[in-house]
Amino acid sequence: MRSRFSAYATGSSQYIYDTYAKSSQATQSIKEINDWSNACLWIALQIHSNSNNKNSGLTINDSSEQFVEFSVFYIADDTLCELRENSRFVLESCSLENNQVEGNSKDDNQILQWRYIDGDIIQHTELRKLKRKELCPCNNLSTAWSMKKGKKFKQCCGK
């Protein structure tokens, strides 16, 4: 989840696409991901909880499906917003194309990775319109992408 947030914050659309589950990639477009990523200034991620499929009876380490509930904070049109979502991830076998180890067989170049399937939006709220001379909201978010203590919005994220 943290790596996907970082990819949104840095505009790494290909990485975001690559971390979708294979079953979800067909409905995604790198252009649409890029447009959404660039439409906002992503400033903070807060993880609320993670859990396995509650109906499976398995522990988190045994489950091939997990849920992560999180909030992301972003700025769009000088408005601070919060998107809270419960995301579903699945454990998939992936190729190590760029990390080939000499002497390994093709089957040895497979690893398991968590991939994003989908998510249920719990809340999507415009928290407040930001004023240029007020303290930047990244000062108040402990998990802010970039912490610039004491700067006003116009000198920080409002540039």
Q: Do the beta carbons of residue 28 and residue 55 sit within 8 Å? A: no
**Considering the chain, what percentage of its residues have pLDDT values greater than 90?**
38
Q: How confident is the model at residue 51 (pLDDT cuts 50, 70, 90)?
A: confident
Residues 6 or more apart whose Cβ sits within 8 Å of residue 35? none
Domain count across the chain = 1
Three-state DSSP at 35 gives: helix
Beta strand segments in 17-109, E: 41-52, 65-76, 79-95
pTM of the model: 0.76
Residues 6 or more apart whose Cβ sits within 8 Å of residue 123? 82, 83, 84
Q: Do the beta carbons of residue 114 and residue 93 sit within 8 Å? A: no
Q: Residue 113: which of 89, 137, 140 has the closest Cα?
A: 89
More confident call, 64 vs 149: 64
Mean pLDDT calculated for residue range 124-147: 81
Q: Residue 92: which of 76, 115, 73, 59 has the closest Cα?
A: 115
**Considering the chain, what percentage of its residues have pLDDT values greater than 70?**
79
Tokens linked to 28 = 């995604």
Q: How confident is the prediction for the chain on average, in pLDDT?
A: 81
Q: What is the pLDDT of residue 96?
A: 64
Q: What is the pLDDT of residue 53?
A: 59
CATH number (domain holding residue 72): 3.10.450.50
Mind listing the pLDDT tens digit for each residue in 76-126? Answer: 999 999 999 999 999 888 776 644 334 444 556 678 888 999 999 999 999
Residue linked to tokens 């170049």: 109
Q: What is the pLDDT of residue 129?
A: 95
Mean pLDDT calculated for residue range 7-27: 91
Q: Do the beta carbons of residue 66 and residue 79 sit within 8 Å? A: no
Structural domain containing residue 56: 2-155
Q: What is the pLDDT of residue 101?
A: 39
CA 144 – CA 17 distance, rounded (Å): 23
Q: What is the pLDDT of residue 151?
A: 83
More confident call, 133 vs 147: 133
CA 32 – CA 53 distance, rounded (Å): 29
Q: Do the beta carbons of residue 42 and residue 74 sit within 8 Å? A: yes
pLDDT at 153 over 90: no
Q: What is the pLDDT of residue 83?
A: 95
